[in-house]
């Protein structure tokens, strides 16, 4: 039996689960783990969107892929917000001296943004045909 890869929704569910279990004892562990899960969900949702449209953008950097979303989504605000959230999550995933981990409210907001993007991309994936 082979395990299937987690979906963006699965990853976001795990991120929310970490946010719900945050305690002072786990301070420093859960914020970066939740950020990593949310960032993986965003990247996977974008990859699946390009695949569903028959576009081979998976070899491009995530930054380039997110910039291309503006043209394909026809929603400049959500595309720009997605790039900002991805950059914020990327920063939060890495520990730097003297940097504070993101707060629970920041992470909740970012997870909400990733959820909105993933939902929108999934709807766009189901409604599109592959490009020949």
Distance CA 39, CA 45 (A): 10
Per-domain residue ranges for the chain? 8-17+28-126
- pLDDT tier for residue 30 given thresholds of 50, 70 and 90: confident
Task: Encode pLDDT of 71-115 as tens digits.
Answer: 888 788 888 899 999 999 999 988 777 778 788 899 999 999 999
Could you say which DSSP state residue 21 is in?
T
- Average pLDDT over the chain, rounded to whole? 85
Percent of the chain with pLDDT over 90: 41
In which residue are the tokens 């890495």 written? 94
pTM score of the predicted model: 0.86
Least-confidence region, from 7-11, 37-41, 55-59, 81-85:
55-59
- Give the pLDDT confidence score for residue 74 in this predicted structure: 78
């Amino acid at each position: 039996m082979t395990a299937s890869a987690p979906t963006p929704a699965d990853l976001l569910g795990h991120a929310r689960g970490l946010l719900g279990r945050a305690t002072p004892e786990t301070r420093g562990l859960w914020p970066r783990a939740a950020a990593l899960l949310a960032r993986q969900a965003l990247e996977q949702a974008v990859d699946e969107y390009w695949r569903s449209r028959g576009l081979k953008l998976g070899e491009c950097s995530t930054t380039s892929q997110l910039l291309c979303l503006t043209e394909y989504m026809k929603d400049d605000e959500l595309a720009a917000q997605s790039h900002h959230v991805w950059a914020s999550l990327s920063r939060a995933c890495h520990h730097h001296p003297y940097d504070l981990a993101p707060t629970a409210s920041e992470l909740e907001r970012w997870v909400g943004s990733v959820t909105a993007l993933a939902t929108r991309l999934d709807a766009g994936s189901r409604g599109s045909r592959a490009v020949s």
